[in-house]
Structure formats: structure tokens, C-alpha cells
Amino acid sequence: MKPVASSARECDRPVPRRTRTFRPNYLSFAGTYQCNLTCPHCCVPIEWPDRLDIRVALRFLNDAHAYGIRILGFTGGEPFLYPEFLVALSRRAARLDFRFDKIVTNGVWFKNERHLRDTLLDLKKAGYSGKLGLSVDKFHGVRTSDLATFCSTAREIFQRDNVVSLSYASRDSEMGFDLIERLAQELGAVIEWSNLLRRFLVVSPELTMTVNWNHLAPVERAEGLGAAWDGVWFQEDYCEGPGQALIVNPKGEVKPCCGFASDLDQLTIGNINTDSVADIVRRARKHPYVGKVFRKGLTAIRNEILARDPGALPAATSNHCFFCWHVLTRGLAEGVSGGGGQIGAWTGHRPNFESELVQIGTHKTSAPRR
């Protein structure tokens, strides 16, 4: 679910334009990697049992607030498998006057309607006032009636017709919409295009749900889906399509990435167990890869790679996150070593041969992938 996730490159968190640099305005916690589903496109190590410590996360939330960050979201794994985390963090964030973005969820984690109702009620009482970002596509399975139950119950508990937003992942925005259509049918809703929002809406008498498309990056378990080298170069967005974010994973590691490479060690810019927000932002700006992505863009990284070795990339890709994950795992980007992403069992030797690796002073705490 990770690309916020499953999460993705939706830009609903505009970053004030000054000089280009890493300037996070958004905080997201993945309290757990674990999930009740095993989607074939998942880029999250859902088999890892780590969970974020609530007290440590609360301390970091306070620090983020003091730093000036005001928007909060949750991702996973499946965030609702760790509801006490959602409730505790939401309660504190509501007190601090954070604006809630969304909780990315598969919407089918509940045992029965009572369980669903009680969990959402606890969240509402804690002061959560954001959206529930429901992933609806073939990768998440066909459980349309459970998804409809989730939507109606959320509407009833939160008393907001826009409490649920939908997202689907596919290679092309024109593909993979069928399960959204099926859900609309189940809810007695119609699908309309909004010129204002530049996206589709699913509208019923009870619900108004925006539909967001996530450009699926075939990485990790989905590497075999292929077709990412589509011959077109991505349009530069300085990784601000997803927004400027501090994403905290269940190990406490902080990444600037809510996309598909968020579990690569190469993107670690700190750890909430040991570092302050100010330390992490400072380190991100100096980071040989992260600093450059936010300052000069992914195109600068692409140009450097191709100038060094015109044959280093198989073709062009329009998918930012796929490019990012590819060059990081293959060690093509200057200043960071390759590796990681072994679920797809990539091999090959094309190291970052022309520049020195830079010690950026982060602890490598994650266990190697099996």
C-alpha cells in the first residue's frame, strides 16, 4: 500500500515555491509493515514484523510540529492492523492542530461489521478528520461488497460524504478502472468527471469520492510485470508530485519517499529513535541522491548517468518512481551504493564506478531482505 501508496504521485500537497531544496511539509507514519493481503504488485516487505513504538512516534510528531510541519498521513502495510497507533497519534495530532491528509487502506481488514464500526468510531473520537484512502484495483482483489460496506460505514461514522477517497494503480490511467466501476454500481453511485479537480468522482446520495490514479511502478514483487521502459521520458517534477514528505517506516527510519522505493536503504535520511526533524532535513539536503533529486531533479541524475555511460539504461521510462528505484538498486546514481530490492532477485554488476561513495552518517538498521 505504501505509495501514499500505494500510495502515489498525486499532488494535493503543494509545496511553496522558493529556491529548490528539500523542505518537507508533510509527515507520514507507517506503523506496521504487516498486511492482511498479499497483492502481487506490493513493494512493502509485509513479512517484516517491526512496529513503530507509539511513544517514540509521539515525540517525533511533537518535534515535527515544532519544526513547522502541519500535515499528517498514515500508510503501511495495512495501517488498521495497528489501530492503537492510529488512535494515539491522531489524538495528539488533533490537539496540535495538524491537518489530516489520509490513511491509505485496503478497506477489507475488518473481521465483521462490528469490528469495522468500533475501529472507525475510536478513530473519530480521537479527532481524526482526514480521509480514508481506499485502494480499489485488481491487485487488491475483488471484494466489492466488503469495500461498499467500508465506504457506507465510514460515511455513517464520520458523518462526512467525502470521508473516503479512492485510488487505483495501473500502468496507464486509462487502464484498471473496472473495479471502481463495480464499486460505484454496488453503491448505486455514478462516475463523473470534475473539471475543477481534474479527476473522476464517484457520487451517490451519500458519498462523494475522488478517484486518484497511481502510476504503477513494476518494482519488487511486481518486477516481473515489466513494461516500464515505455520509450518516453518522465516529466520533471523534483519528486514533488507526491509532495515533500518525511515518511517514517516501522523501523523508525525516515525517507523522503512515499513512492515505490521507500524501503531502500539508499533513501534513509535518519531515524526517529535517534534524530530530530532538523537533523534529518539537514542530512537530506546534503544526501548525494536525495539532495540532488529535490534540488536538481531526476532528470539531472538521468543526464549524469547517460553522460557517463550512454548504455546504462535499457530505454526511456515515463515512470519517475520506476526510474528512481532502478538506478538506486543498480547502483547507477552517483554517491550511493546499489543493492536492495531483492524480492525481484535482480543481479548484475554495473556499479557506480566513477564516483566515491559518500558516508552520510545514517545507521543501517534494517535486516537484509530475504
Helix (H, G, I), strand (E, B) or coil at 293: helix
Shortest Å distance, C-beta 133 to ligand SF4 = 11
Contact between 159 and 116 (Cβ < 8 Å): no
For the chain, list the strands marked E by DSSP.
Answer: 26-30, 71-75, 99-105, 131-135, 164-170, 190-194, 199-203, 208-215, 245-248, 253-255, 270-271
Helix locations, the chain, DSSP H: 54-67, 83-95, 113-125, 144-158, 178-186, 277-286, 290-295, 298-308, 320-329
Q: Binding of ligand SF4 at residue 6 (CB under 6 A)? A: yes
Strands 71-75 and 26-30: parallel
Radius of gyration of the chain (CA): 20
Shortest Å distance, C-beta 85 to ligand SF4 = 15
Query: Residue 280 contacts by C-beta under 8 Å, 6 or more apart in sequence?
Result: 246, 254, 269, 270
Binding residue for ligand SF4 (CB under 6 A) from 30, 39, 52, 209?
39
Considering beta carbons, is residue 208 or 317 the nearer one to ligand SF4?
317
Q: Binding of ligand SF4 at residue 32 (CB under 6 A)? A: no
Considering beta carbons, is residue 164 or 257 the nearer one to ligand SF4?
257
Q: Which of residues 307-366 bind ligand SF4 (CB under 6 A)?
A: 320-321, 324-325
Considering beta carbons, is residue 65 or 140 the nearer one to ligand SF4?
140
CB burial readout 285-322, b (16+ within 10 A) else e:
eebbbbbbbbeebbbebbebbeeeeeeebeeebbbbbb
Binding residue for ligand SF4 (CB under 6 A) from 24, 31, 77, 252?
77
Q: Which of residues 132-171 bind ligand SF4 (CB under 6 A)?
A: 140
Please choose, out of 35-43, 47-55, 155-163, 331-339, the segment that lies near ligand SF4 by the rule CB under 6 A: 35-43
- Going residue by residue from 271 to 310, which x/- string records binding to ligand SF4, judged by CB under 6 A? ----------------------------------------
Q: What is the DSSP letter of 179?
A: H
Q: CB-side exposure of 152: number of CA atoms within 13 Å? A: 15
Considering beta carbons, is residue 161 or 230 the nearer one to ligand SF4?
230
Please choose, out of 181-189, 207-215, 252-260, 278-286, the segment that lies near ligand SF4 by the rule CB under 6 A: 252-260
Please choose, out of 250-258, 268-276, 350-358, 359-367, the segment that lies near ligand SF4 by the rule CB under 6 A: 250-258
Considering beta carbons, is residue 258 or 280 the nearer one to ligand SF4?
258
User: Applying CB under 6 A, which residues contact ligand SF4?
Assistant: 1, 6, 35, 37-39, 42, 44, 46, 76-78, 106, 140, 239, 242, 256-261, 320-321, 324-325
